Amino acid sequence: MRRMWATSALLLVSLLHLAQAGHKCVWVHGRVKCNKDPSKETNVEVRVYDRDSFSFMKIIDPDDLMGVSFSNEDGTFQLDGCGDDFDWIPGVVNDPEPYIQILHYCNNEKGELMVLPEFTVFVPNTYEVGTIELDAPEVPLPPLRSPSNSTVRGARRP
C-alpha cells in the first residue's frame, strides 16, 4: 500500500511538471501620429498578442490577446497584459512572443491594421514603442531593449 502511494505521488509530481507554462507580462507605452489628420490619432485601437503558432496551426491554436487599449487625444497609449505558453520540453521555458497590432483610420475610412514585430521586453521593464507615424509608407521602430541588444527593424502595413 505504501509503495503504491509513493508511486502515485511520484507520477502526480511528474505530470504537474509537464503542465507548466511560461507566464510573463508586458507593459507597453507609445504614441500614434497621423500627419494628414491629427484628429484621427484619438481612439486608435492598440492590442498586444502572444504569437502561438504559424500558418495552418492558427486554426487550432490562434494567437492569444494579452491586452487592449485606445490612444488618448494626443495619440499616446499604454497597455499591459500577460501571456502563457506551454512548456513543451521539460526544463525549457517557453516564454510568450508578444507583438502589437494597431487598428487605425488615418489613411482610409475602412481602417488599416498595422502589425509591429515581436519584442522581448517583459515586466518590470516597459516596452517603449516611441512614435508610430500611421501615414508613413514604412514605419521606423525604436531599438528593442533586451539583454541581447538586438534591434527591431521597420514594419510595413499588411
Assess if residue 30 is contained within a domain: yes
Q: Per-10-residue mean pLDDT for the chain, 158 residues long?
A: 58 50 90 97 97 71 92 97 82 87 96 95 96 80 46 37
Assess if residue 153 is contained within a domain: no
Assess if residue 116 is contained within a domain: yes
Which of 93, 96, 113, 98 is CA-nearest to residue 144? 98
- Can you give the pLDDT at residue 148? 37
Taking the model in full, what pTM does it have?
0.72
Cell of residue 93, nine digits: 521555458
Domain count, the chain: 1
Which residue segment(s) compose the domain that 32 sits in? 19-133
Query: Using one digit for the tens of pLDDT, what is the confidence trace for 122-141?
Result: 999 999 999 999 998 765 55
> CATH number of the domain that 123 lies in?
2.60.40.3330
Cell of residue 118, nine digits: 515581436
Helix (H) or strand (E) holding 12: helix 2-18
- Can you give the pLDDT at residue 152? 35
Which of 67, 76, 63, 84 is CA-nearest to residue 27? 67
